[in-house]
């Protein structure tokens, strides 16, 4: 290839490159944002910061403290303290250390009660390591109020259950006593 041909080819390739640059400069929608003044549209499937949904109908968060999410977590992010039992089980402490979280979604897949979700919130950057430690007050939708309402609901349900059991036991004892033959009756 002669020097002139090589020069012409190089010059054409520069023009092609500049044409592509010009097209992108004026012809295409900008995909950069002046963050944080402009906010990005986040997909609803985004794996962001966790929350525990509050069930208005039941008056409690859905979590029953079964620990399946904690067992599924490969990095030991989740700890909890259970309260109540049986149908009236919940948690009064639920902590996630997001400093160790991989946002792998395994905890959410493991939960059989739809009790833990990921939101579209993504901003975790801070100079304070403490912000990545999320307690139940920060995780529950509705905050400390939702946690308090859950506690009251569970305590009321447990009291009701204990009262029903006591009433049933008393009724059973009374039925047994009335079935006993009275003194002097019979032969």
CB of 100 to ligand SF4, least distance (A): 7
Using the minimum distance from each CB to ligand SF4, give the nearer residue, 132 or 158: 132
Residue 56 burial (10 A CB sphere; 0-12, 13-18, 19+): exposed
| Cα–Cα distance for residue pair 165/175, rounded to 1 Å | 15
Q: Which tokens go with 140? A: 């529950």
Using the minimum distance from each CB to ligand SF4, give the nearer residue, 141 or 172: 141
Query: 4: part of which helix (H) or strand (E)?
Result: helix 3-26
Q: Which tokens go with 132? A: 């990545």
Using the minimum distance from each CB to ligand SF4, give the nearer residue, 67 or 161: 67
CB of 63 to ligand SF4, least distance (A): 3
| Cα–Cα distance for residue pair 29/23, rounded to 1 Å | 11
Which residues contact ligand SF4 by CB under 6 A? 63-69, 72-73, 75, 77-78, 80, 101-107, 110-111, 113, 115-116
CB of 40 to ligand SF4, least distance (A): 21
Whether the CB-CB separation of 83 and 65 falls below 8 Å is answered with yes
Using the minimum distance from each CB to ligand SF4, give the nearer residue, 36 or 130: 130
Give whole-number Cα distances, 134 to 46, 55, 95, 96, in Å.
Answer: 19, 20, 6, 5
CB of 53 to ligand SF4, least distance (A): 10
Using the minimum distance from each CB to ligand SF4, give the nearer residue, 21 or 135: 135
Give whole-number Cα distances, 52 to 21, 96, 111, 172, in Å.
Answer: 48, 11, 11, 42
Residues forming beta bridges with residue 55, ordered by sequence position: 60
CB of 156 to ligand SF4, least distance (A): 20
Using the minimum distance from each CB to ligand SF4, give the nearer residue, 71 or 174: 71
């Amino acid at each position: 290839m002669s020097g002139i041909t090589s020069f012409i080819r190089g010059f054409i390739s520069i023009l092609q490159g500049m044409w592509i640059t010009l097209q992108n400069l004026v012809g295409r929608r900008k995909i950069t944002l002046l963050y944080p003044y402009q906010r990005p549209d986040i997909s609803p499937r985004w794996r962001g910061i966790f929350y525990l949904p509050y069930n208005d109908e039941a008056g409690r968060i859905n979590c029953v403290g079964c620990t399946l999410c904690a067992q599924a977590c490969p990095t030991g992010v989740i700890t909890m303290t259970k309260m109540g039992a049986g149908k009236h089980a919940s948690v009064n402490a639920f902590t996630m250390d997001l400093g160790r979280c991989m946002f792998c979604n395994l905890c959410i897949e493991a939960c059989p009660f739809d009790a833990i979700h990921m939101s579209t919130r993504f901003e975790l950057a801070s100079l304070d390591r403490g912000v990545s430690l999320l307690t139940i007050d920060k995780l529950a939708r509705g905050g400390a109020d939702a946690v308090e309402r859950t506690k009251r609901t569970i305590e009321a349900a447990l009291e009701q259950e204990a009262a029903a059991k006591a009433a049933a036991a008393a009724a059973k004892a009374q039925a047994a006593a009335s079935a006993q033959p009275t003194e002097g009756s019979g032969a």
